[in-house]
């Protein structure tokens, strides 16, 4: 049950992350200030890096939980 909760939370986080970054990117595109545009794109880059790290940690956690669940049920 806990594994399903983490998977659902990850999917929810992914969807909200994509919506937020799409909104941020569109606001960057419609700005005429080049400095703001470059800072905005740099911010999106850092968000993507943080998201990738979050996903890797979540996948490692899910694998560990699944292996622990299988190990405890086999004993």
Task: Please state the domain count of the chain.
Answer: 1
d(C-alpha 65, C-alpha 49), whole Å: 24
| CA–centroid distance for 27 within its chain | 20
Could you list the residue range(s) of the whole structural domain that residue 35 is in?
Answer: 2-74
Sequence-distant (≥ 6) Cβ neighbours of residue 25 within 8 angstroms: 40, 44
User: What pLDDT shows up at residue 50?
Assistant: 80
User: What are the residue ranges in the chain where pLDDT is below 50?
Assistant: none
| pTM score of the predicted model | 0.54
Six-digit token pair at 2?
Answer: 């806990």
């Amino acid at each position: 049950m806990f594994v399903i909760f983490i998977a659902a939370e990850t999917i929810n986080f992914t969807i909200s992350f994509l919506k937020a970054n799409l909104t941020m990117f569109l606001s960057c595109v419609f700005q005429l200030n080049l400095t703001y545009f470059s800072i905005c794109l740099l911010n999106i880059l850092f968000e993507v890096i943080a998201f990738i790290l979050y996903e890797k940690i979540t996948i490692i956690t899910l694998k560990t939980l699944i292996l622990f669940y299988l190990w405890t049920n086999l004993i």
